[in-house]
């Protein structure tokens, strides 16, 4: 009953270092998302994917790259970390807008537990 799993849970980087956050979901969801959460800012969308091999930019994509090579995995990369990227990162997934009967899904997101990243 894993749902959405993020690794690592915690990471400390120095400015300029690179790293990758991994998100894995076992619910066969088509859509996956990366958000960042900052005090007073709520959740802001970084990138998202509507299927294997596809990605799109969200509200705050600069400084991040993503890949969706397999349906169940969505990777978030930081090529050259900056202190402004210190944040808590959340991955989420959901089924597409329409279900297999042609009816609308509500858009509910299923979240991972978060990855706390500190850039010194």
- Give me the residues that bind other proteins (CB under 8 A), please: 4, 31, 33, 35, 40-43, 45, 48, 50, 56, 58, 90, 92, 94, 96-98, 104-114
- Sort strands 54-57 and 42-51 into parallel, antiparallel or unpaired: antiparallel
Nearer to other proteins, 4 or 13 (CB): 4
CB of 72 to other proteins, least distance (A): 18
- What span, in angstroms and rounded, lies between the C-alpha atoms of 5 and 7? 7
Nearer to other proteins, 16 or 97 (CB): 97
CB of 109 to other proteins, least distance (A): 6
CB of 60 to other proteins, least distance (A): 13
Nearer to other proteins, 80 or 99 (CB): 99
- Burial code (b: 16+ CB inside 10 Å, e: under 16) for 88-120 equals bbbbbbbbeeeeeeeeeeeeebeebebbebebe
């Amino acid at each position: 009953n894993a749902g959405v799993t993020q690794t690592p849970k915690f990471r400390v980087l120095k400015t300029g270092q690179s790293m990758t956050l991994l998100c894995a979901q076992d619910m066969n969801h088509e859509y996956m998302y990366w958000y960042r959460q900052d005090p007073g800012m709520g959740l802001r969308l970084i990138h998202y994917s509507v299927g294997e091999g596809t990605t799109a930019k969200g509200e705050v994509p600069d400084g991040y790259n993503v890949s969706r090579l397999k349906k169940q995995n969505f990777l978030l990369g930081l090529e050259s970390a900056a202190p402004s990227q210190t944040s808590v990162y959340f991955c989420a997934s959901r089924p597409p807008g329409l279900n297999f009967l042609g009816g609308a899904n509500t858009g509910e997101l299923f979240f991972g537990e978060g990855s706390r990243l500190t850039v010194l």
